[in-house]
Every structure is written in structure tokens, then in C-alpha cells.
């Protein structure tokens, strides 16, 4: 193991890139770990090597962050999937905290373990999906997933596509589909016109984003795409793959059917809190920020010393707010490590603090629209599979609740819901809402205890080559 | 109004004791500071094994094995997907072979039908086994459960039997007033004529409530589970040293355990796996069943297991305190748990238990010395 | 229409699933479940399979498996690539890779 880094950053999205850049520029020894082959994160995801995608606003913003990162002197560990975390406060009772430990799997080869005195978590979000009949049909993909397919791979999810769910990604995806030559059968937006109208004042703070949104909508109107406001997908149907989608006003009424070969659907974004849960940090439930979030101070400090969260992993605020948050976290880390004194820190944080605040206003308005909608959970049919990895239906979850399960870990034990390889990322939101209904809220329903690995790890990679004699088998138990 | 008995701790020991006492006609309160069977009894490896059980406990474990397999019959349909299958304990080195011989002999003497077989014979019983096994202990009576179902299995039966189950009600201390116990709990006092302490690794603190000093060691046991894979094994596997337990469930997941240690403590629970122990444990597993190389690890977790100074159970009356009892600290305590609860219930109800208990006087004497 | 003509038409249609205006590296051959497919080297396997019209990637406990999140979290795209388990959405296409169901 090498000498500990001053700062390790997990995740090279806009938050992580900015955090690593800021810390390295100020002379700290920094390592940035990212599982993708290039920095960028979700919004600014780079196309694979050898692909040239026509530049757009996102590409340019991403390139600027990438260029600054490259010039900063931070060590980049790309293609490194972080699966293990330890150290910090995770020591025996009474022992002083130790440096953080980060276990990662490089693209090919031996696993690596790094140590760092401070750790900035920038793991972003994953998409929320509230199940409905047919959601598991091939051809149904996430809405955020569609952005990756379209922007980073240049591939259409289908030739005639229904786009559904909540938030601005709906219109981004639909506009992109049209431009790329796909047909958009319909947009089913859960938000009412009133919700969009209420979001307007906050969006006015970001005229660039607002203009882009209006352009998307104009394109949809020109192409005669039906935009159904306050509508939900009630079923995806087809033999072997999606062939049509049924859509209904959320207030009830007649359903409409749209033929299609793909459905892109997402019900908002959920902050990735796996790492903060592993460190047993304090969390709070913040519906309008996407769900459970770590408790943070104004400088992105978590309740655990020398641990920080920046970007959407601390609550959904969007790409524009992420870099400033990353810089704040890096500055706080340098302050806490003693690299910056109080005055220098106060001076340095002023601009990113203001920037973050500004960008977060628009981000918050969008996050609100993407917040969990309880009506969708109410509508889940008893026979619909909620946990896809383990094949657990709503009816099975309800029976477990009848049998006395009162929080998420217990529901998991009673049903295996969330025990599969996605580790509850796909089913967690729907399942938690079902528990919350019985026990009086998400706070009581709680969340699954943070455990390793953060991502499934191939045994092969952990094992490496070994001799039996190398295995440190402990002393046997008494006879 | 006072309960006939208050049982503190709703793990397998507390649940079984409560169920049997309620069925014997007592008014039982069962309290846990969390949910039922969320500690050791809900997170353990579920191995129903004779080859890891301490020799002195084999007669108990054999009876308990039977109870687990027939759980639905005595637990109102509740069950933990118990599976009976052969168990193999293998040796890869001469040293381990010697250990295996000694251990198998002692366990056989205690009643476990363990025979020693060659590596080749072991491969006939377990085709997935490594060809590097020198010697194996074969026990036709072995098996496993899905331990995470334990709370769900016990809960309806407890309620049917009339047990007053208080989950999420921590007990902070105990007073004695007019021949009764008054439990100080999170939501107010609770009175009972008798008390049973069934607090797993927290027994040390609980014994302290009654002025008894009983040191309990805390083991932080690690478990690792793979995602669903094709069938790669059909027995319960261990190694001679006892530091491996390996089985594949019907759903295809493979559970890897054996008692490798992680970081944690009584106050904070199981906190973190040690990277070297994680690796060591899975290497030992893959060395034993080579096809595991192909799997992915989905999760690793830690649970807390209790151990007394002589690593034998603490089950019996609490010396010097009338009507107070203790149950816990059993090696491979999940295997024997339901039977130990039944035995203690017999004693608490004033009958002679059908098998001897493990009174703690010996431990208190050791502590005093 | 004979099978070959049908295949030609299909491949034209499929080609259109790759958005025009994106410069891509040369196409290479790989196989999925014994079927020969082609895709630009480096494209994600999940994307390449969508273009090839392959959506169903296996059978899960309660439903078919198919790529869903495209970002490595849902695990629904698990396949076996050259004998090893791999998530299609984060596995780049390489020449000659042999892909089967997990
Ligand atoms: C698919 C998708 C599309 C989105 N599109 C938009 C959009 O158009 N506009 C917008 O404002 N917001 C969008 N969002 C919201 C998005 O979360 C943020 O706007 C922005 O990307 C947040 O930046 P971040 O740095 O917090 O996280 P991200 O950009 O999500 O970056 C997190 C990074 O961490 C890496 N990572 C996570 N876990 C590990 C691990 N264990 N090991 C190694 N690396 C890891 C990921 O690979 C990723 O690169 C989108 C979200 C998603 C999921
Ligand atoms: C990871 C692991 C793997 C294992 N594998 C096996 C195996 O394969 N086979 C086997 O036979 N055995 C195994 N064991 C051992 C077995 O799990 C235990 O011996 C057994 O479950 C102990 O049961 P218990 O009821 O005594 O304790 P527990 O199940 O720990 O129950 C004690 C209860 O007391 C409660 N409590 C604590 N303090 C208070 C308080 N102040 N007020 C109220 N309630 C309180 C706790 O919340 C808890 O529910 C394993 C143990 C672990 C940890
Ligand atoms: S599509 Fe979700 S992990 Fe690959």
C-alpha cells in the first residue's frame, strides 16, 4: 500500500471532477476513482474512445471540467469500480479513527486498496422506478438510461417510443429522439400544468436551461407529438417485448393506448447513499431532494469526520449545482486537514457557496417535480413484481407486512425483497413506500443497513492467484 | 398486573423459551429493543451442523435438528425452509487431517454419526468438491435453514400462544419489589414474577442488572453471499478447523461463513469487514468448491455471537436471585436454540428438564477466582 | 419474401438505430448466443444488442431480464462474456468476443 492520499474522491461526475480539481490545484495529493473509462458522470458522460459525437452544451460543459481536471495534477483512476470502503470511524471501540480505505477493481487485473485521510463521496444518483404491469418487459428502459444510450452511445432505444414519467428529462429525451430520427408516440408527464407553472420562478434564475427547455417543447409541438400532462403509464403490453403502452389521466378517466417498440420511463432520481450508510453517517429523509440523504453542513461535511458528500448524492440539485458543491467539499476537506487556515478557507468558499446556492434554486424546483409520487405506489397491482432480482410481488410484500415486518431490513428478511444483485436500488423506493404506509412514514420505515460490496464483485477478481498455505485461516474454534 | 414471566431478548433462545412457557400456561411478556430475531438469530449462517457444534452439545443439537426440520408442526406452520442434507468437514493438509480425526472421534463419542472418508469418497457425495481433499468427516445428519426467516416463522405462533410480544421496547434495568421484577423499559415499567435474560451478546449487561458479573466475549462473525448461480454443490461443507461453512440454497445463492472476524462491538453492532478476512474467507470457500470462482459476491455482513469464558452455554437459574434465569452463549447456538428454549421452559415452569442445563455457577466461580 | 431478403431489410432498419452524425470506430464481429453480430468496437454491449434487435437477455426469477438502467446499477443486463459474468451496459464490444446468457 502506498502512502495515504490527502483526499480521495469517489466518482468523476461534475461534483467529483470539480472536487478533485480544487483540492489538487491547492497542492493536496488527490486521487479520483471512477468506474467509467472516462470522467464525466451521468450528464457529461463521455462517448466511448474512438466515438465522435457532435458537441452540444452538455459536451462543452463536460469538456471544460475535464480539461481543468487534467491540468490539476489529481491522479485519475478510471475504470476503477469501488466496491469496498473502510477505515475512518470503522475501527474498534476506543481506537482513534484511521485513514479511509478504498478497495477498487481496475478494468483488468489485481484489486487495489488505497488510503486517504479525507474522502469526498460524489457517487451521484440512480433512477427511481415505481412498478406497473409490464414494467419488466424487454423494451422498457429507464428515462435516465435513455439519455445514456442517446448521448453517450448514439443509439436509439426504439424507433417508435413512448416517453413517460416525471421531470425535465422527459422533454430532453423526447427532443433528442426526434432529432435523431425516432418517432415519439407520446409523452406522458406525471406533472400537471400547475406544477410546471409553479416551477417557473425558480427556473427564471437559469435562463439558459429555461430556453433549452422551451426549445425542446417547441420541437415537440412542431412534430405533433402528443404531450399528455398529468398522465401516468398504467401498463406496458406485448408478447416478449413491449408493443404498446396504456396511459391514463392521474385523476382517472379513459385510458389511451399507444403502439411503440420502446418505453423510456423514470419517476425521478434517488441519491446514492450506499457509501454514507456504510460509514453509519446520520441521514434524514428529504422527499423533495430525492429520498434519504446524508445530513450535511453548509460545506458538505457529513456527520463523520473527514467525510464529505458533493453533487446529487447529497440530494438532487442537478448538474449545474454539482461543481460548486464539489469545490466546497474539497475546500472543507483542506480546511479540516489543516492545509487551509480559517481565513483562507472563508475567502475561498465564498464564490462556490454563492454559485451553489444560485444553481440549487433551479435544481430544487426540478427535484421537487421528480420527487416520489405516492399515488403511483398506491396503484401498484398485487401481482406486479416489485423486486425484480428476487421476483417479489406487491402481494408478497403486503403479506410480510401483515406478518409483522415494520422496517426495511425486516421486510428484506421476511421476503428477500432487496437481497438480490441490485441490492435494492431498483425496488427500494417502492418497497419503502409500501412499508411507510403501514408504519407511518419513511422515517420509520428506515433504510437497508449499508453493507459491502457497493457493487457485486466477481469472486475471481477478489480471489486472485493463491496457495492454500497463504490463506490466513484463524485458530480453530474450541472442540 | 404482573406477567408470570418476562423474557428479555427475542432471538431464537428467547422466542423458543417464550413459546414453550406460554404453551405451558404462563402469561408471558417477550421484549426486544429491536424487532424479533434481527440480531444473531436472524443474520446467522443457518447451518444445522454437528461438525461445528461443540462435542458436549451434540445430544442437544441432534434433538434440535429434528425440531428445525419439523418446525411447521410445532410452530403453527412457521418455518425457515430447513433442508436436511449430508455434511462434510474436509482436511487439505496432514495437520488438518489429524485435527479432523480427533474432532470426529470426540463428536462420534457424543452421538454424532460422523465417519471418516477419503477425498475420493467425499467427491462422490459432493461432486463439486475440490480434488485436493485428503480426508473428510461425513455426517449424514446435517442441513441448513434460511435464518433470515426466523422472526417471521416464530412471530405468528408466539401471538397465537398468547405471548405479549413487545418489539422495539428496550429494557434498561430491573428492580425487585415485593417479590416481583419491575423492568424499566423504553415505554414504562413492566412487572413480572419471573425473568429470563435471553440477550445474546448483551447478556453481560443484563446480568449486571441483577448484580451478577458474567463476562461475555463478543465475536464479530462475517458472512458473504453470492448471487444466484447454477447448482455447484449439494452438501453443507466445512473445514476441519471449523472456519468455513458453505452451502447453496435452492434459489442458487451460496452462503460463505465460518466465523471469520470483522470489526464491531456490542454498542455499534457489526461495522465493517476486514479486507484480509473477506478475501481469506472467500479463498477458502473457492478452494473447497472451485466452481465458486465463477460467481459474484453480492453482499457481506457481520453478526454478533456470544461466548462464555469456557465456551460452553449459560443456561439455567441465576444464582442468588430467585425466579431469575438466563439463556444464551451457545456455540452453534442457532442449531440448538429451539431445543435449549424448550429445556429452559421446562425448568422455569418447575418441571425437571429432560436433559441437563448449563448453570452459570461455574462461570461465576471462574470469575471470582 | 425469402429469408435472405428479410435479413437484408432488417439489417437496414437496424442500422438506423445508430444515430447518424456520430463518427464511430470500425465495426467488429462478435457473437451472442451463437449468432454472429457486428458493432463498432467500444460500443457498449447493451447498446450493440439493442441495435441488433436483442432485448431479452435471460430469465430472472419473476420476469425476463433486459438492460434497464444502462449505468451499471440494476444488474438486469448480466451476461457471460468470454466465459465470465459481465454487465452488458458497461462492457465495451471487442472483436471476437463470445457472449452468452449468464
Ligand atoms: C442517467 C442520468 C442522466 C441525467 N441527466 C441529467 C441532465 O441532463 N441534467 C441534469 O441537470 N441532471 C441530470 N441527471 C442528474 C444527475 O445526477 C446530476 O445532474 C449530475 O450528474 C450530478 O453530478 P454528480 O457529480 O453528483 O454525479 P454523477 O454525474 O452521477 O457522477 C457520479 C459518478 O460516480 C461514479 N460512481 C458511482 N459509484 C461508483 C463506484 N462504486 N465506483 C466507481 N465510480 C462510481 C459514476 O460512474 C459516475 O460517473 C441525470 C442523472 C442520471 C442518472
Ligand atoms: C454471523 C453469524 C453466523 C452464525 N452461524 C451459525 C450457524 O451457521 N449455525 C449455528 O448453529 N449458529 C450460528 N451462529 C450462532 C447463532 O446465531 C447464535 O448462537 C444464536 O442465534 C443466538 O441466539 P440468542 O437468542 O441467544 O441471541 P440473539 O439472536 O442475538 O438475540 C438477543 C436479543 O436480545 C435483544 N436485546 C439486547 N439488549 C436488549 C435490551 N436491553 N432490551 C431488550 N432486548 C435486548 C437483541 O435485540 C436481540 O434480539 C452464528 C452467529 C453469527 C453472528
Ligand atoms: S442495464 Fe442496468 S446494470 Fe446494465
Q: Please indicate whether, in this complex, the C-beta atoms of A101 and B275 are within 8 angstroms of each other.
A: yes
Say if residue B206 is in the same domain as residue B316.
yes
Residues of chain A with pLDDT under 70: 1-2
Q: A-chain residues within 8 Å CB-CB of B242?
A: 476-477
- How many Å lie between the centroid of ligand 3 and the Cα of residue C65? 10
What pLDDT score was predicted for residue A474?
A: 86
Q: Tell how many helices (H) and how many strands (E) occur in chain B.
A: 11, 18
Model confidence pTM above 0.90: yes
Residue of B nearest to A415 (CA): B149
Which of B334, B341, B360 has most ligand 2 atoms within 8 Å of CB, for mutation? Answer: B334
Q: CA–CA separation, B173 vs A375, rounded Å?
A: 45
Selected residue of C83, C85, C87 to mutate for chain B interface (largest B Cβ count, 10 A): C85
C49 Cβ below 6 A of ligand 3: no
For the domain that residue B300 is a member of, what is the CATH number? Answer: 3.30.9.10
Assess contact for B281 and B300: CB atoms under 8 A.
Answer: no
Q: Please indicate whether, in this complex, the C-beta atoms of C85 and B251 are within 8 angstroms of each other.
A: no
Give long-range contacts, CB 8 A cutoff, 24+ apart: C47-55: C47/A149, C47/A153, C47/A155, C47/C89, C48/C93, C49/C88, C50/A149, C50/A155, C50/A157, C50/C17, C51/A155, C51/C14, C51/C15, C51/C17, C51/C18, C52/C14, C53/C10, C53/C14, C55/A138, C55/A139, C55/A241
Question: Residue B75: which of B164, B166, B159 has the closest Cα?
Answer: B159
Q: Please indicate whether, in this complex, the C-beta atoms of B280 and A473 are within 8 angstroms of each other.
A: yes
Determine the structural domain holding residue B287 and report its residue range: 84-141+217-307
pLDDT at C4 over 50: no
pLDDT for B302-328, tens place per residue? 999 999 999 999 999 999 999 999 999
Say if residue B16 is in the same domain as residue B111.
no
Torsion on CA atoms B177, B178, B182, B188, rounded to nearest 10: -90
Q: A-chain residues within 8 Å CB-CB of B152?
A: 400, 403-405, 413-414
pLDDT for C75-91, tens place per residue? 999 999 999 999 999 99
Q: Please indicate whether, in this complex, the C-beta atoms of B55 and A479 are within 8 angstroms of each other.
A: yes
The DSSP H or E segment spanning B257 is: strand B254-257
Say if residue B239 is in the same domain as residue B343.
no
pLDDT at C15 over 70: no
C6 Cβ below 6 A of ligand 3: no
Residue with CA nearest ligand 1 atom 27 = A124
C-alpha cell at A397: 410484500
Cβ within 8 Å of residue A14, ≥6 positions away: A41, A43, A44, A61, A62, A65, A311, A319, A322, A323, A326
Instruction: Say if B42 is an interface residue toward chain A (CB within 8 Å).
Output: yes
Q: Tell how many helices (H) and how many strands (E) occur in chain C.
A: 2, 7
Q: B-chain residues within 8 Å CB-CB of C84?
A: 294
Instruction: Say if A197 is an interface residue toward chain B (CB within 8 Å).
Output: no
B64 Cβ below 6 A of ligand 2: no
What is the 8-class DSSP label of residue A112? E
Q: Tell which of B270, B285, B307 closes a domain.
A: B307
Q: Report if residue B106 sits inside a domain.
A: yes
Give long-range contacts, CB 8 A cutoff, 24+ apart: A373-379: A373/A130, A373/A166, A373/A190, A373/A267, A374/A433, A375/A232, A375/A250, A376/A130, A376/A132, A376/A190, A376/A232, A376/A267, A377/A130, A377/A430, A377/A433, A377/A434, A377/A437, A379/A132, A379/A232, A379/A234
The DSSP H or E segment spanning A65 is: helix A57-72
Ligand (nearest to CA of A138) = 3
Q: Give A291→chain C minimum CA distance, Å.
A: 17
pLDDT for A127-155, tens place per residue? 999 999 999 999 999 999 999 999 999 99
Say if residue B122 is in the same domain as residue B226.
yes
Q: Report if residue B299 sits inside a domain.
A: yes
Determine the structural domain holding residue C73 and report its residue range: 3-101
Angle formed at CA B200 by CA B199 and CA B201, multiple of 5 degrees: 110
Q: Exposed/middle/buried for C22, CB within 10 Å: 0-12, 13-18, 19+?
A: middle
Radius of gyration of chain A measured on its C-alpha atoms = 23
Say if residue B245 is in the same domain as residue B283.
yes
Assess contact for A245 and A350: CB atoms under 8 A.
Answer: no
DSSP string, A158-202: -SEEEEEESSTHHHHHHHHHHHTT-EEEEEEESS-HHHHHHHHHH
The distance from CA A262 to its chain's CA centroid, rounded to whole angstroms, is 23
Say if residue B121 is in the same domain as residue B241.
yes
A314 Cβ below 6 A of ligand 1: no
C-alpha cell at B205: 449487561
Q: Report if residue B48 sits inside a domain.
A: no
Instruction: Please give the tally of structural domains in chain B.
Output: 2
Q: Report if residue B69 sits inside a domain.
A: no
pLDDT at C8 over 60: no
Q: Exposed/middle/buried for B136, CB within 10 Å: 0-12, 13-18, 19+?
A: buried
Ligand (nearest to CA of C44) = 3
The closest-lying atom of ligand 1 relative to the alpha carbon of residue A40 is 49
Residue of A nearest to C61 (CA): A391
- HSE-up of residue A379 (Cα within 13 Å, Cβ side): 17
Ligand (nearest to CA of A171) = 1
Say if residue B267 is in the same domain as residue B345.
no
Q: Please indicate whether, in this complex, the C-beta atoms of B271 and A462 are within 8 angstroms of each other.
A: no
Q: Which domains does chain A have, with CATH numbers?
A: 2-125+270-366 (3.50.50.60), 129-267 (3.50.50.60), 380-445 (1.10.10.1100)
C-alpha cell at B296: 459474484
Q: A-chain residues within 8 Å CB-CB of B42?
A: 413
- How many Å lie between the centroid of ligand 1 and the Cα of residue A226? 30
What pLDDT score was predicted for residue A207?
A: 84
Say if residue B228 is in the same domain as residue B302.
yes
Residue of A nearest to B241 (CA): A476
Say if residue B204 is in the same domain as residue B116.
no
The DSSP H or E segment spanning C58 is: strand C58-59
B96 Cβ below 6 A of ligand 2: no
Residue with CA nearest ligand 1 atom 4 = A43
- How many Å lie between the centroid of ligand 3 and the Cα of residue A368? 26
Q: CA–CA separation, B257 vs B226, rounded Å?
A: 12
Residue with CA nearest ligand 2 atom 44 = B32
Question: Residue A314: which of A358, A283, A350 has the closest Cα?
Answer: A283
C-alpha cell at A382: 398485487
For the domain that residue C43 is a member of, what is the CATH number? Answer: 3.10.20.440
Question: Residue A230: which of A188, A196, A261 has the closest Cα?
Answer: A188
Q: Please indicate whether, in this complex, the C-beta atoms of B151 and A101 are within 8 angstroms of each other.
A: no
Cβ within 8 Å of residue C14, ≥6 positions away: C51, C52, C53
Say if residue B135 is in the same domain as residue B231.
yes
Q: Please indicate whether, in this complex, the C-beta atoms of A421 and B42 are within 8 angstroms of each other.
A: no
Mean pLDDT, chain B, rounded, equals 96
Question: Residue A35: which of A91, A104, A100, A89 has the closest Cα?
Answer: A104
Q: Tell which of B280, B307, B334 closes a domain.
A: B307
Terminal C-alpha separation, chain B: 41
Instruction: Say if C96 is an interface residue toward chain A (CB within 8 Å).
Output: no
Cβ within 8 Å of residue A252, ≥6 positions away: none
Q: B-chain residues within 8 Å CB-CB of A412?
A: 148
Q: C-chain residues within 8 Å CB-CB of B228?
A: 61
Q: Please indicate whether, in this complex, the C-beta atoms of B294 and C61 are within 8 angstroms of each other.
A: no
Per-residue 3-state assignment (H helix, E strand, C coil) for A279-317: CCCCEEEEHHHCEEEECCCCCCECCCCCEEECHHHHCCC
Q: Please indicate whether, in this complex, the C-beta atoms of C13 and A388 are within 8 angstroms of each other.
A: no
B11 Cβ below 6 A of ligand 2: yes
Instruction: Please give the tally of structural domains in chain C.
Output: 1
Q: Tell which of B288, B307, B326 closes a domain.
A: B307
Residue with CA nearest ligand 2 atom 12 = B332
What pLDDT score was predicted for residue A203?
A: 81
Selected residue of A13, A37, A138, A270 to mutate for chain C interface (largest C Cβ count, 10 A): A138
Instruction: Say if C39 is an interface residue toward chain A (CB within 8 Å).
Output: no
Q: Is it true that the peptide bond before B264 is cis, omega within 30 degrees of 0? A: no
Cβ within 8 Å of residue B155, ≥6 positions away: A403, A404, B36, B78, B165
Instruction: Say if A440 is an interface residue toward chain B (CB within 8 Å).
Output: no
From first to last of its 369 residues, chain B has per-residue pLDDT tens of 799 999 999 999 999 999 999 999 999 999 999 999 999 999 999 999 899 999 999 999 999 999 999 999 999 999 999 999 999 999 999 999 999 999 999 999 999 999 999 999 999 999 999 999 999 999 999 999 999 999 999 999 999 999 999 999 999 999 999 899 999 999 999 999 999 999 999 999 999 999 999 999 999 999 999 999 999 999 999 999 889 999 999 999 999 999 999 999 999 999 999 989 999 999 999 999 999 999 999 999 999 999 999 999 999 999 999 999 999 999 899 999 999 999 999 999 999 999 999 999 999 999 888
B137 Cβ below 6 A of ligand 2: no
Instruction: Say if A423 is an interface residue toward chain B (CB within 8 Å).
Output: yes
Q: CA–CA separation, A353 vs A336, rounded Å?
A: 17
Question: Residue A279: which of A39, A10, A74, A31 has the closest Cα?
Answer: A10
What pLDDT score was predicted for residue C12?
A: 44
Q: Give A27→chain C minimum CA distance, Å.
A: 33
Nearest to A35 among C55, C72, C85 (CB): C72
Q: Report if residue B74 sits inside a domain.
A: no
B304 Cβ below 6 A of ligand 2: yes
Q: Report if residue B334 sits inside a domain.
A: yes
Q: C-chain residues within 8 Å CB-CB of A151?
A: none
C74 Cβ below 6 A of ligand 3: yes
Say if residue B199 is in the same domain as residue B339.
yes
For the domain that residue B12 is a member of, what is the CATH number? Answer: 3.50.50.60
Residue with CA nearest ligand 2 atom 26 = B200
pLDDT at C13 over 70: no
What is the 8-class DSSP label of residue C25? P
Q: What are phi and psi of C87, to 5 degrees?
A: -85, 120
- How many Å lie between the centroid of ligand 3 and the Cα of residue C69? 5
Say if residue B132 is in the same domain as residue B173.
no
Q: CA–CA separation, C93 vs A418, rounded Å?
A: 30
- HSE-up of residue B42 (Cα within 13 Å, Cβ side): 27
Amino acid at each position: 500500500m502506498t502512502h495515504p492520499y490527502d483526499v480521495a474522491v469517489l466518482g468523476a461526475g461534475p461534483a467529483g471532477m470539480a472536487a478533485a480539481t480544487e483540492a489538487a490545484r491547492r497542492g493536496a495529493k488527490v486521487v479520483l476513482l471512477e468506474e467509467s473509462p472516462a470522467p464525466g458522470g451521468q450528464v457529461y458522460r463521455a462517448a466511448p474512445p474512438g466515438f465522435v459525437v457532435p458537441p452540444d452544451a452538455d459536451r462543452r460543459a463536460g469538456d471544460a471540467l475535464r480539461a481543468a481536471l487534467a491540468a490539476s495534477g489529481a491522479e485519475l483512476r478510471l475504470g476503477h469500480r469501488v466496491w469496498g470502503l473502510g477505515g475512518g470511524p470503522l475501527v474498534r471501540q476506543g481506537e482513534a479513527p484511521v485513514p479511509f480505505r478504498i478497495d477498487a477493481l481496475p478494468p483488468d487485473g489485481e484489486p487495489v486498496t488505497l488510503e486517504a485521510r479525507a474522502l469526498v463521496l460524489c457517487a451521484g444518483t440512480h433512477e427511481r422506478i415505481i412498478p406497473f404491469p409490464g414494467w419488466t418487459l424487454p423494451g422498457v428502459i429507464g428515462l435516465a438510461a435513455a439519455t445514456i444510450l442517446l448521448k453517450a452511445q448514439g443509439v436509439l432505444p426504439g424507433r417508435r417510443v413512448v416517453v413517460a414519467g416525471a421531470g425535465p428529462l422527459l422533454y430532453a429525451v423526447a427532443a433528442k429522439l426526434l432529432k435523431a430520427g425516432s418517432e415519439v408516440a407520446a409523452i406522458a408527464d406525471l406533472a400537471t400544468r400547475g406544477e410546471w407553472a409553479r416551477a417557473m420562478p425558480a427556473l427564471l434564475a437559469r435562463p439558459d436551461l429555461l430556453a433549452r427547455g422551451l426549445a425542446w417543447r417547441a420541437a415537440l409541438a412542431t412534430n405533433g407529438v402528443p404531450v399528455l400532462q398529468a398522465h401516468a403509464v398504467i401498463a406496458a403490453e406485448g408478447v416478449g417485448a413491449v408493443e404498446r403502452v396504456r396511459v391514463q389521466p392521474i385523476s382517472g378517466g379513459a385510458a389511451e393506448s399507444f403502439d411503440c417498440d420502446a418505453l423510456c420511463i423514470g419517476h425521478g432520481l434517488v441519491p446514492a447513499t450506499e457509501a454514507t450508510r456504510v460509514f453509519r453517517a446520520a441521514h434524514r429523509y428529504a422527499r423533495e431532494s430525492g429520498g434519504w440523504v446524508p445530513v450535511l453542513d453548509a460545506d458538505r461535511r457529513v456527520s463523520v469526520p473527514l467525510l464529505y458528500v458533493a453533487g446529487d448524492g447529497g440530494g438532487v440539485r442537478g448538474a449545474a449545482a454539482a461543481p460548486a458543491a464539489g469545490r466546497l467539499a474539497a475546500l472543507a476537506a483542506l480546511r479540516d486537514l489543516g492545509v487551509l487556515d480559517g481565513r483562507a478557507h472563508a475567502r475561498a468558499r465564498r464564490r462556490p457557496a454563492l454559485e451553489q446556492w444560485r444553481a440549487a434554486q433551479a435544481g430544487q424546483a426540478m427535484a421537487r417535480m421528480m420527487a416520489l409520487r405516492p399515488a403511483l405506489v398506491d396503484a401498484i397491482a398485487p401481482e406486479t413484481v416489485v423486486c425484480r432480482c428476487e421476483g417479489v410481488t406487491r402481494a408478497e410484500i403486503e403479506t410480510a407486512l401483515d406478518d409483522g415486518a415494520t422496517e426495511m431490513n425486516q421486510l428484506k428478511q421476511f421476503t428477500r425483497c432487496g437481497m438480490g444483485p441490485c441490492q435494492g436500488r431498483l425496488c427500494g423506493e417502492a418497497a419503502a413506500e409500501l412499508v411507510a404506509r403501514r408504519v407511518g412514514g419513511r422515517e420509520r420505515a428506515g433504510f437497508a443497513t449499508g453493507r459491502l460490496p457497493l457493487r457485486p464483485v466477481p469472486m475471481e477478481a477478489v480471489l486472485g492467484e493463491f496457495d492454500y498455505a497463504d490463506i490466513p485461516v484463524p485458530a480453530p474454534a474450541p472442540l | 398486573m404482573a406477567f408470570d414471566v418476562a423474557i428479555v431478548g427475542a432471538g431464537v433462545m428467547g422466542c423458543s423459551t417464550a413459546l414453550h412457557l406460554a404453551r405451558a400456561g404462563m402469561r408471558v411478556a417477550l421484549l426486544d429493543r429491536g424487532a424479533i430475531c434481527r440480531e444473531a438469530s436472524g443474520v446467522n449462517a443457518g447451518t444445522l451442523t454437528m461438525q461445528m457444534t461443540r462435542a458436549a452439545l451434540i445430544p442437544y443439537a441432534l434433538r434440535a435438528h429434528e425440531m428445525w426440520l419439523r418446525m411447521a408442526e410445532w410452530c403453527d406452520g412457521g418455518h425457515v425452509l430447513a433442508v436436511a442434507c449430508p455434511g462434510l468437514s474436509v482436511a487439505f493438509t496432514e495437520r488438518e487431517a489429524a485435527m479432523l480425526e480427533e474432532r470426529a472421534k470426540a463428536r462420534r463419542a457424543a452421538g454424532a454419526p460422523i465417519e471418516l472418508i477419503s477425498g475420493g469418497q467425499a467427491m462422490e457425495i459432493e461432486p463439486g468438491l475440490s480434488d485436493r481433499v485428503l480426508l473428510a468427516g461425513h455426517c449424514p445428519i446435517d442441513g441448513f435453514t434460511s435464518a433470515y426467516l426466523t422472526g417471521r416463522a416464530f412471530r405468528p405462533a408466539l401471538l397465537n400462544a398468547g405471548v405479549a410480544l413487545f418489539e422495539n421496547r428496550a429494557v434498561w434495568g430491573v428492580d425487585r419489589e415485593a417479590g416481583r421484577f419491575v423492568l424499566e423499559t423504553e415505554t414504562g415499567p413492566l412487572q413480572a414474577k419471573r425473568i429470563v435474560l435471553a440477550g445474546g451478546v448483551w447478556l453481560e449487561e443484563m446480568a449486571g442488572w441483577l448484580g451478577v458479573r458474567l463476562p461475555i466475549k463478543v465475536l464479530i462473525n462475517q458472512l458473504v453471499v453470492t448471487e444466484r448461480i447454477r447448482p455447484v454443490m449439494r452438501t453443507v461443507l466445512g473445514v476441519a478447523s471449523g472456519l468455513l461453512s458453505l452451502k447453496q440454497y435452492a434459489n442458487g445463492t451460496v452462503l460463505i461463513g465460518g466465523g471469520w472476524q470483522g470489526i464491531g462491538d456490542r454498542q455499534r453492532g457489526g461495522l465493517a469487514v476486514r479486507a484480509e478476512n473477506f478475501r481469506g474467507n472467500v479463498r477458502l470457500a473457492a478452494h473447497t468448491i472451485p466452481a465458486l470462482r465463477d460467481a459474484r459476491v453480492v453482499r457481506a455482513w457481520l453478526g454478533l455471537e456470544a461466548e462464555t469464558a469456557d465456551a460452553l452455554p449459560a443456561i439455567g437459574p441465576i444464582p442468588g436471585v430467585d425466579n431469575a434465569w438466563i439463556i444464551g452463549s451457545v456455540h452453534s447456538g442457532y442449531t440448538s436454540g429451539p431445543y435449549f428454549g424448550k429445556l429452559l421452559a421446562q425448568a422455569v415452569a418447575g418441571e425437571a428438564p429432560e436433559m441437563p442445563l448449563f448453570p452459570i455457577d461455574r462461570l461465576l466461580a471462574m470469575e471470582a477466582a | 419474401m425469402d429469408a435472405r431478403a428479410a435479413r437484408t431489410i432488417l439489417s437496414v432498419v437496424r442500422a438506423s438505430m445508430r444515430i447518424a452524425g456520430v463518427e464511430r470506430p470500425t465495426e467488429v464481429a462478435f457473437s451472442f448466443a451463437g449468432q454472429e453480430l457486428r458493432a463498432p468496437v467500444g460500443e457498449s454491449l447493451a447498446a450493440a444488442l439493442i441495435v441488433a434487435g436483442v432485448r431479452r437477455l435471460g430469465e430472472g426469477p419473476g420476469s425476463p431480464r433486459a438492460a434497464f438502467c444502462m449505468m451499471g446499477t440494476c444488474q438486469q443486463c448480466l451476461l457471460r462474456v468470454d466465459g465470465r459474468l459481465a454487465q452488458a451496459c458497461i462492457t465495451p464490444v471487442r472483436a471476437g468476443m463470445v457472449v452468452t446468457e449468464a
